């Protein structure tokens, strides 16, 4: 029995590697989202929670929506219990039944406490909710993402910018989240970019 236990403990890190969560870049999460909102949980039930929206960042809906509770697993645990009054920033897809669900589970559900983020695994550029929401809005105003956003390997994704390189550079200086989304977070090796041409008089 001891031999079996030692063998299991020895092999566990190798076995666990196969269960690593597939991380989705936030630029793709933003593009996929039907709704990006800031608000608070107003009621929790078994499979869903009611969410009261205080600010729309992308999309529109009723001010109270139902959000499906995603299932935790070993590589994607919930960092805090869902409870009434908890503030969240949500990246949501609408389901056929009219409810919403967070994109890529924990990726689409960001906890906010005292106007700061408590998830230590978030990108360091996500300094506070205001900067995050402004950066997302800047990204949405600058880029259009085309292609199959549900493709696990993000093949044939095409991103177009409607601003010049100089405008984008200035925007990157103004907002850390936009800089992250426009540079670090986009999978350059897998994505085709089209920037508007630069004309010099």
Last residue of a domain, one of 76, 92, 115: 115
Strand spans (E) along 69-156: 87-94, 100-102, 109-113, 116-117, 143-146
Percentage of residues of the chain with pLDDT beyond 70: 80
Q: Report the pLDDT value the prediction gives residue 63, as an integer from 0 to 100.
A: 97
Residue found by looking up tokens 């890529």 in the block = 104
Give residue-wise pLDDT tens across range 163-172: 888 999 999 9
Confidence of residue 119 (pLDDT cuts 50, 70, 90): confident
Does 147 lie in the same domain as 76? no
Last residue of a domain, one of 65, 89, 115: 115
Confidence of residue 76 (pLDDT cuts 50, 70, 90): confident
Task: Round the average pLDDT of the chain to a whole number and report it.
Answer: 84
Q: Report the pLDDT value the prediction gives residue 98, as an integer from 0 to 100.
A: 86
Q: Report the pLDDT value the prediction gives residue 79, as an integer from 0 to 100.
A: 84
Confidence of residue 70 (pLDDT cuts 50, 70, 90): very high
Does 165 lie in the same domain as 98? no
Residues 31-50 have a mean pLDDT of 96
Confidence of residue 154 (pLDDT cuts 50, 70, 90): confident
Within-domain flag for 201: no
Confidence of residue 177 (pLDDT cuts 50, 70, 90): very high
Within-domain flag for 18: no
Domains of the chain: total: 2
Q: Report the pLDDT value the prediction gives residue 121, as an integer from 0 to 100.
A: 84
Give residue-wise pLDDT tens across range 4-18: 544 444 444 444 444
Does 137 lie in the same domain as 73? no
pTM for this structure?
Answer: 0.82
Confidence of residue 78 (pLDDT cuts 50, 70, 90): confident
CA angle 190, 191, 196 (to 5 degrees): 160
Domain that holds residue 167: 129-194
For the domain that residue 93 is a member of, what is the CATH number? 2.40.50.120
Count of all residues that appear for the chain in the document? 201
Within-domain flag for 84: yes
- In 3D space, the residue among 142, 140, 70 whose CA is nearest the CA of residue 107 turns out to be 70
Q: List the structure tokens of 24.
A: 């989705």
Does 140 lie in the same domain as 110? no
CB neighbour class for 29 (10 Å; exposed up to 12, middle 13-18, buried from 19): buried
Query: CA-CA distance, 118 to 111, in Å (whole number)?
Result: 6
């Amino acid at each position: 029995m001891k031999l079996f236990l030692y063998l299991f403990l020895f092999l566990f890190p190798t076995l666990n590697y196969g269960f690593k969560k597939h991380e989705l870049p936030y630029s793709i999460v933003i593009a996929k989202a039907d709704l990006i909102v800031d608000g608070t949980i107003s009621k929790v039930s078994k499979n869903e929670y009611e969410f009261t929206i205080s600010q729309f960042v992308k999309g529109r809906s009723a001010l109270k929506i139902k959000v499906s509770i995603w299932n935790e697993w070993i590589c994607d645990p919930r960092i805090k219990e869902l409870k009434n009054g908890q503030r969240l920033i949500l990246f949501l897809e609408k389901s056929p039944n009219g409810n919403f669900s967070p994109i890529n589970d924990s990726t689409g559900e960001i906890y906010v406490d005292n106007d700061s983020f408590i998830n230590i695994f978030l990108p360091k550029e996500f300094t506070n909710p205001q900067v995050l929401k402004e950066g997302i809005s800047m990204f949405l105003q600058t880029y259009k993402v085309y292609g199959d956003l549900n493709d696990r390997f993000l093949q044939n994704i095409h991103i177009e910018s409607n601003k010049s390189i100089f405008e984008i550079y200035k925007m990157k200086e103004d907002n850390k989240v936009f800089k992250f989304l426009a540079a670090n977070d986009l999978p350059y090796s897998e994505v085709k970019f089209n920037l508007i041409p630069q004309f010099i008089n």
